Amino acid sequence: MTTRPIAQDLFAETPRPHLIAGRSRTTGRIVFPFPEGLEGQDCDPVDLASEGTLWSWTVQRFRPKSPPYAGPEAFTPYAVGYVEFPGQVIVEGRLTEADFAALRIGERYRTVIVPFAEDADGTSILTYAFERVEGTAA
């Protein structure tokens, strides 16, 4: 099956997938995603750590309006959270954890690349998400 990332230069599909952020050459501040346009010209790409800790979370229990939401018509509630990559930045993303009762601030999560939706020609669109690392409560 053919696949494509949902956006260019958002993540690296290495054996240990990670996100790509930008570090400002002027201020040293790390921003995610890597900024478009003029702001991006001041930034160097930075590989974020492949694991971090859950900073906060919630569950999206109703289907968001389309646009902008481009997910499948059939809706299953999904968890959303922020994961802190220590010393780098805190990033928002979907959580793959389906057992919402298992969501705890401070637990370890790793970056994974997951199929999100399909193009009309069947190409699978990939995005990043965060997956709970079992048995590693902080």
Binding residues for other proteins, rule: CB under 8 A, are 6-7, 10, 21, 29-33, 36, 55-62, 64-65, 67-71, 78, 80-82, 84-94, 100, 105, 116-117, 127
Give the residue carrying structure tokens 């702001």. 39
Least distance to other proteins, CB of residue 35, Å: 9
Least distance to other proteins, CB of residue 81, Å: 7
Other beta carbons less than 10 A from residue 24's beta carbon: 15
- Residue 107's φ and ψ, nearest 5 degrees, are -80, 160
Alpha-carbon distance of 87 to 51, in angstroms, equals 12
Closest CB to other proteins among residues 41, 62:
62
Three-class DSSP category at 123: coil
Closest CB to other proteins among residues 15, 112:
112
Alpha-carbon distance of 98 to 12, in angstroms, equals 24
Least distance to other proteins, CB of residue 51, Å: 15
Closest CB to other proteins among residues 65, 122:
65
Give the residue carrying structure tokens 């919630």. 58
Least distance to other proteins, CB of residue 42, Å: 15
Closest CB to other proteins among residues 55, 133:
55
Alpha-carbon distance of 17 to 62, in angstroms, equals 29
